[in-house]
Structure 1
Amino acid sequence: MASAVATDRRDLFDWSVAQFRVAAGQVDPDGFLPNELRRQKRALAYHNYSLPPLTMVAAFAKANGVDLREDHNGALRRLAERVMQGVENPEVFADKTGKGQSVGELKEHGKFTWLEPYCTLYRCSDETLKWKHSMQPLMNFRLGGDLTRLFDPQAAEKAKNG
């Protein structure tokens, strides 16, 4: 999506939107991705891993006049809320998969860079914002580096001067 926007390629932009819609169509009514549930003890981690590209595509699309937030009955929001619930209580995923969840990698702040675009797409709760702010700056080289600077510049400036 970033390349499509940077090069002004509508064909690539449309392809990115179509790929988002394929992924969103896989989110079940409860916010789970059935293919990722098959990962058993890593299901929560893989659900979380799906969010950075999805939130970035949705953010780029919205900035360019295409609002994907309600696609497939709000699939992106359902998925993000399920992941946040799972981070707080991994038993949600353990109950669904029948396996305890491996959550070690979820202790890395960079695994939650998706919160920056997500909280610009949706109104995040005060609790979610507090969690996001506690991890800032949120950085991920795969998504272009410092997403806090891009999506939450006031927090980035505050951290720099704080």
Structure 2
Amino acid sequence: MHRWAHPILVVFLLATGLFSGVGRTASACEVPAPVKTIDPPGFYDDASGYARAVQPMRGFIAKLNKSAENGDWSCAVDLLHGWASADALMGPISGYQGYYERSWAGTDFAMVILRMPSAVRTANADKFTVIDPWLQRIAIATRDANAINHLHNNLVYWAGLNLVAIGTVTNQPQLVDSGLIRAREGIHDIGPNGALAREVKRGNRALHYHTFALLPLVFTAELVQRRNIDLYRENDHAIARLANLVIEAVRNPASFAKITPIKQDLFPWTFQDELAWMEPYYARTRDPRFPALIAPRRPFNEWRLGGDVSAQWGAPLPSSN
């Protein structure tokens, strides 16, 4: 195990199936038993209980994302159809963490479909008559989740991406509009120095949550470009200010002291896969600062965004020769 591993990381790896090799070997496309309800304890409340509770859902997502990465679209459709037929994840939630998990899962499902060749969807139109309404139910549940809406922080921005992604793949403009409201809340909250006041309040995790908040804002901005909506321009190019703040911190973590004097504690994945926003952002801007940051980290693999983000969103980097 890497020398930086610690209990929370081990819990995370177990939860995502990385220790068990979920999705790593070629096999018949068996659909895992649907998880009817996702209702884990909070991530910070009970780490081991959280890992056990989310493992079946994360295992399914790992298999779905791996199928997409391998171009095994028949399997990807079967996986989605199997869980859609069972109305998976739509059972009652008694806590709060489940609302976040379901939102992230629905986002991932939609992002997988977004990278799916249109011919696959056409050939499986009958299965999508089951998949699409299920995704819409997930999106509506996310839209109406008070456990998310009252927070006005990064989780609202993630809910916005959920709504935009699902609204895009199911052609439901009203879901996209609901997602835009949430994304614009985040963009409006970005201050002149690029900081998000609510995330600064996270103390020693403030930098982590600035990075985590940037992910859904960038991907939402990318998805609505096809509707001729330029979120990058809004609030005087606010996303760029937040991106610059994070870029500076990646290059020099001490730079974040200008935002908060509290020493920052990052997860190992904060400056790895949660920098996946760099792929579409670099592809759009060709910012010369990015190649040196992207190259050693590729491929970016974010379970909430369809798996291998580099393969779907990345642009060629300049040759080092």
Question: How far, CA to CA, are the matches of 2:233 and 2:291 in structure 1?
Answer: 21
Given candidates 83, 87, 95, the residue that maps to 2:246 is 83
Which residue of 120, 124, 129 maps to 2:291?
129
CA distance in 1 between partners of 2:174 and 2:199 (Å): 29
Q: Are 2:256 and 1:93 aligned?
A: yes
Distance 1:13 1:123 in 2: 27
Note the aligned Cα RMSD (angstroms): 1.8
Q: Secondary structure at the match of 1:124?
A: coil
Q: In structure 2, do the counterparts of structure 1 residues 14 and 66 end up closer, same or farther at CA, with 3 Å as the change threshold?
A: same
**2:305 is matched with which residue: 139, 143, 148?**
143
1:15 and 2:173 are equivalent in the alignment: no
Query: Partners in 1 of 2:280 and 2:178 — Cα distance?
Result: 20
Contact 1:137 1:147 survives alignment (8 Å): yes
CA distance in 1, matches of 2:290, 2:236: 22
Q: For 2:274 and 2:176, locate their aligned partners in 1 and report how far apart those are by CA, in whole Å.
A: 25
Cα distance between partner residues in 2 of 1:121 and 1:26: 23
Distance 1:96 1:85 in 2: 12
Distance 1:154 1:121 in 2: 12
Q: What one-letter code is carried by the residue in structure 1 that aligns with 2:245?
A: R
Deviation of 1:79 (Å): 0.2
Counterpart Cα distance in 1 of 2:280 and 2:242: 14
Judged with a 3 Å threshold, the aligned counterparts in structure 2 of structure 1 residues 100 and 21 are, in CA distance, closer, same or farther, namely: same
Query: Which residue, 228, 237, 259 being the options, matches 1:65?
Result: 228
Question: How many residue pairs were aligned?
Answer: 154
Q: How far does the alpha carbon of each residue in 1:118-161 deviate from its partner, in whole angstroms, 9 at most, with x for none?
A: 12332322x31221122111111101111111112657xxxxxx
Greater Rg over alpha carbons, structure: 2
Alpha-carbon distance between aligned partners in 1 of 2:267 and 2:299, rounded to the nearest angstrom: 20
> What does residue 105 of structure 1 align with?
268
Deviation at 1:8, TM superposition (A): 0.5
**Whole-Å Cα distance in 1 between the matches of residues 226 and 301 of structure 2?**
21
Identity %: 29
Distance 2:233 2:297 in 1: 27
Q: Distance in 2 between matches of 1:111 and 1:134?
A: 14
Task: Compare 96-105 and 67-76 and name the one that shifted more.
Answer: 96-105
User: SS in structure 1 opposite 2:259?
Assistant: helix
| Cα shift readout 1:84-109 (whole Å, capped 9, x = no counterpart) | 11122222323422211113435652
> Closer, same or farther in 2 for the Cα pair 1:51/1:87, shift >3 Å?
same
1:42 and 2:238 matched? no
TM-score of the superposed pair, with normalisation by structure 1: 0.86
Q: Which residue of 2 is the match for residue 160 of structure 1?
A: none
The Cα offsets for residues 57-85 of structure 1, whole Å up to 9 and x where unpaired, read as 00001133211111100111100110111
| Distance (whole Å) between structure 2 residues aligned to residue 10 and residue 93 of structure 1 | 38
Relative to structure 1, the CA distance from residue 11 to residue 145 in structure 2 (aligned partners, 3 Å threshold; closer, same or farther) is same
1:138–1:29 CA distance, 2 compared to 1 (3 A) = same
Which amino acid in the other structure matches residue 275 of structure 2?
A: F
